[in-house]
Structure 1
Amino acid sequence: MEKLNQVLLKEDIRVGADLQAWLARGGGEGLAKALSNPDAILAEIEQADLRGMGGAGFPTHRKWRPVAAAAAGDKYIICNGNEDEPGTFKDRFLLEHTPHQVIEGTLIAAAATRANHVVLYVNPHQPLSLEMTRQAVQQWQTHALLAELERLLGGPLTLRVVPSSGLYIGGEETAVIASVEGTFPFPRRKPPYPADSGVHGAPTIVNNTETLAHVPGILRHGAQWYRALGVAQAAGTKLYSLSGDVLRPGLYELPMGTSLETLIFEFGGGMLQGKEFKAVFTGGPSNTLLTKRDLDVALDFDSVRKRRSRLGTGAMIVVSEGSSIVRKVAEYVSFFAQGSCGQCPPCKGGTFQLMRLLNRIDTGRGVRADLEALENLCRILPGSGRCGLIDGAVTVVDSSLHQFRDEYESQLMA
């Protein structure tokens, strides 16, 4: 496990906003190497098989390449630190404890794509994250590495912090762009994709905080070093936000591909006293449920997908026997209903109807027609919104119906 401590969470890199302390521990070396050969950055990221850690697991190099290939002019790198979904708390930790690592990752991305605008987009409901990021950005403004990057770009680079709207929907990438432009974070239909038309129509990359935090280590130590950190074919490490009915909830950095059982029962200490494992919401409440038969699954994007689930952000919300799945799902769908921006009627109305039906069943007032209505909504609602909010709400309902239909049946009125 010693080699894993070199990646994101090593105790001696938790230096907060102290740039000199970060540099004294090897910070800046990744950026310096990137600047010495900027045309090789994309190949290094591709060889490392770095994926997007915000949920989709999309290859990072594929997101960067179109922006790198775009004509000279304004280009944007946005670090998405809006993190607002229940059970997810990894980005907050990174911005509070090692913001320079994240900033260095954004600057390497700027070098790779020749972007001249870097934005740290931070949830204002996490005031320490916001304050530490602001302090860290201020310290970079006069550093020699930033000046060297500007020489590569042939002009000034703007590096700034933008507080997000604080809304859940504000983390969707087109909503992020709208917020950075100074408007309400209404998601937009795609295409055009941000790489083609983002902030003020300029090519734009929106990366999750954790994704960018991996970049300095890859450039510093090399792609093969990073790949070797994972298990089997999985590359690198992953931050897992573990919560729910476990003895040691918390944030764990483990090899990508660590088994679900190892995360819960070794690092999480197992279930609470007298409790038995029942299920886990993977990747936060907008994803599917895994059960006892899935404890052997490797926690990487591809392996979890083969179980008809998604790794998502790496949030794992553990549920014990005796806890009501219907109630948990009702709570999460209520969160989505409240978080809908109201722009798309099927989303606003659909999440409300899902919430209403789930609450009826949860409180013992549901009838067979309510269960059938839930199933019908799960069939007709996916894809009806401009973003993934309605799809996330449907996914968790549909998964719970598939895995725990007997619980729904047992709570219906005779």
Structure 2
Amino acid sequence: MTFEPVLLTAKTRIGADLNQWLSEHGGLGLKNALKDPDSIINIIENSDLRGMGGAGFPTYRKWKAVADQINEEKYILCNGNEDEPGTFKDRYLLKETPHQIIEGALIAAIATNANHVYLYINPHQADAIESMSKAVEQWIKNPLFTEIESYLKRPLELKIVKSSGRYIGGEETAVISTVEGGFPFPRQKPPYPFESGVHGMPTLINNVETFATVTHILKNGAKWYNELGIGNASGTKLFSLSGDVLKPGLYELPMGTTLRELVFNYGGGMLSSSPFKAVFTGGPSNTLLTNEDLDVCMDFDSLKAKGSSLGTGAMIVISEGTSIVRKVAEYVDFFAAGSCGQCTSCKTGTYQLSRLLRRIDTGSGLQTDLHALESLCTLLPRSGRCALIDGAATVVSSSLQQFKEEYQGQLID
């Protein structure tokens, strides 16, 4: 299926030719960064830009932590692993708008005094890799690149690194392991990447959309970005809308747009006029929102107040008549298959969650299976080195909280 984006700020507009990008006011953010390098992190802080890969961590704090390190070697990693069901924003940006991503990563290199910029891309996204490879070749030959090296006072490495293609490969410490040539096993923190990342050097890891946004902030200013949002929210967000809607697609909308607007205005409403039932927010590793939550503002703070999360901005819509138990079982199967096996609690925990869900979904579940599910949702969170097991437990727990009667209705006793 082809998704046509709704464009708001040009975050998703310019194609693969660098000259075209520069002729249409690309490069201005980078030039502003070179004019006043010391102001970059302050601009990012004032913009209230947060990480667009899921966690929503303030971007400037990561950048400042790396900038404060005195090491000669530093790394910038642009995380484009994107492998979660319902999320398709990064692959679109990588394929269609490579230069704004690279420009944002180069601005980060100037801000942190980093001399290695790696574009970490899922190998299953062949079109994205082809587009980014051509863009990298163009940037390396451009005078702006030489100007950055002059500022850094040493050569700048810009290259593509293919991820393992596994879901777990997008976890930030697993990214580091892969870049170093190892298996994508997540690592314990601390130390954090800003202290000890690639080859033990300070490392900044941000999502594709985050770097794409940086480019426009440095071009237009923090105040401009603040004013794009609704209410107290800043900027825009790319929403991957899928599921039981008439117009699934990629929508760039003001941060703070309501769920109702996304589903019924931009998404065209529900398929076959079926009633809205629920939405998996931020992808399948998050909580479910129901009809009562349609007027929630989709920004980091508003969703956090609801006990949910914006995550990657993926919104998977479910209509009445669709089994929540079956959908949750499908997503937990994905997590079980994606576990790297390093943590016993994750490998066995996701397997047990999957097994219990399948028993209930197929009509062979007992009341004891439901109790076991509830117990696992209490025991498993924070038991692994990364958030995979937390995500699996969260979606099961949320579905039990919101649709307990649906589970009960499928038990045989």
- Same fold, TM-score > 0.5, yes or no: yes
Partner of 2:232: 233
Name the structure 1 match of 2:12: 9
For the Cα contact (< 8 Å) 2:8–2:253, is it kept in 1? no
The letter for the 2-side match of 1:83 is E
Residue 155 (structure 2) aligns with? 156
The aligned residue for residue 316 of structure 2 is: 317
**Per-residue deviation at 1:185?**
0.5
The residue type equivalent to 1:306 in the other structure is A
Q: Does the aligned pair in 2 maintain the 1:378–1:398 contact within 8 Å?
A: yes
Task: Return the offset for 1:72.
Answer: 3.6
> What is the 5 A alignment of 1:107-256?
107-256=106-255
| CA deviation vs aligned residue, 1:215-234 (integer Å, no higher than 9, x gap) | 11101110000110000110
- Kindly indicate whether the alpha-carbon contact (under 8 Å) linking 1:330 and 1:359 is maintained by their aligned counterparts in 2: yes
Which residue of structure 2 lines up, in the alignment, with residue 292 of structure 1? 291
- CA-to-partner distance for each residue in 1:89-124, whole Å, 9 max, x for gaps? 000000010000000000000000000000000001
Tell me the alpha carbon deviations over residues 108-164 of structure 1, each in whole angstroms, 9 at most, x when there is no partner.
000000000000000011100011111100111111111111111110000000010
Q: 1: CA distance between counterparts of 2:388 and 2:106?
A: 30
Instruction: Compute the displacement of 1:213 (Å).
Output: 0.3
Do 2:229 and 2:256's aligned partners in 1 also have CA atoms closer than 8 Å? yes
The offset of 1:80, in angstroms, is: 0.1
Aligned length: 408
Task: Describe the SS at the equivalent of 1:161.
Answer: strand
SS in 2 for 1:206: strand
Match of 1:374 in 2: 373
Give 3-state SS (helix, strand or coil) of 1:118's partner: strand
Task: Show CA shifts across 1:5-53 (max 9, x none).
Answer: 334023xx2x12x110111111111000100100000000000000000
Quote how far apart the aligned CAs of 1:4 are: 6.4
RMSD value, Cα: 0.9
Secondary structure (helix, strand or coil) at the match of 1:278 reads: strand
Q: Distance in 1 between matches of 2:389 and 2:272?
A: 36
- The one-letter code of the counterpart of 1:318 is V
SS at match of 2:317: strand
**Corresponding residue for residue 325 of structure 2:** 326
- AA matched with 2:224: W
Aligned to 2:258: 259
**Separation in 2, partners of 1:8, 1:226:** 12
Q: Deviations over 1:264-320 (max 9, x none)?
A: 000000000131100000000000000000000000000001111111000000000
TM-score (ref. length: structure 2): 0.98
For residues 134 and 348 of structure 2, the distance between their equivalents in structure 1, rounded to whole angstroms, comes to 42
- Mapped to 1, the partners of 2:264 and 2:292 lie a distance apart of 15
In the TM superposition, residue 66 of structure 1 has moved relative to its aligned partner by: 1.0
2: CA distance, partners of 1:318 / 1:97: 26
Q: Which runs of 5+ in 2 are unaligned?
A: 1-5
Matches of 2:332 and 2:94 in 1, distance apart?
Answer: 28
- Specify the code of the residue in structure 1 equivalent to 2:287: T
Letter of the 1:124 counterpart:
P
Deviations 1:245-278 (A, max 9, x none): 0000000000000000000000000000131100
Which 5+ residue runs of structure 1 have no aligned equivalent?
Answer: none
SS of match in other structure, 2:120: strand
Rounded Cα–Cα distance in structure 2 between residues aligned with 1:256 and 1:225: 13
**Whole-angstrom CA distance in 1 between matches of 2:236 and 2:89:** 13
Matches within 5 A, 1:344-359: 344-359=343-358
Partner of 2:3: none
Question: Counterpart of 1:5 in 2: which secondary structure?
Answer: coil
The list of structure 1 runs, each at least 4 consecutive aligned residues, that deviate by more than 2 angstroms after superposition, is 3-7
Q: In the alignment, is the contact (CA less than 8 A) between 1:52 and 1:208 conserved in 2?
A: yes
Partner residue in 1 for 2:282: 283
1:162 counterpart SS class: strand
CA–CA distance in structure 2, aligned partners of residues 92 and 9 of structure 1: 11
What SS class does the counterpart of residue 280 from structure 2 fall into? Answer: strand
Secondary structure at 1:273's aligned position in 2?
helix
Q: Once the two structures are aligned, what percentage of the paired residues are identical?
A: 65
Check conservation: 2:86, 2:316, Cα contact below 8 A: yes
| Structure-2 separation of matches of 1:341 and 1:154 | 40
Separation of aligned partners in 2, 1:330 and 1:91: 26
In the alignment, the residues of structure 1 paired with residue 397 and residue 199 of structure 2 have an alpha-carbon distance, to the nearest angstrom, of 38
Following superposition, the deviation at residue 64 of structure 1 comes to 0.6
Native 8 Å contact 1:7 1:214 kept in 2? no
Distance in 2 separating the partners of 1:178 and 1:273: 46
Q: Is the 8 A contact 2:328 2:395 kept in 1?
A: yes
Contact kept? 2:118, 2:161, Cα under 8 Å: yes
Instruction: Write the distance in 1 (CA, Å) between the matches of 2:277 and 2:123.
Output: 35
Q: TM-score, normalised by structure 1?
A: 0.98
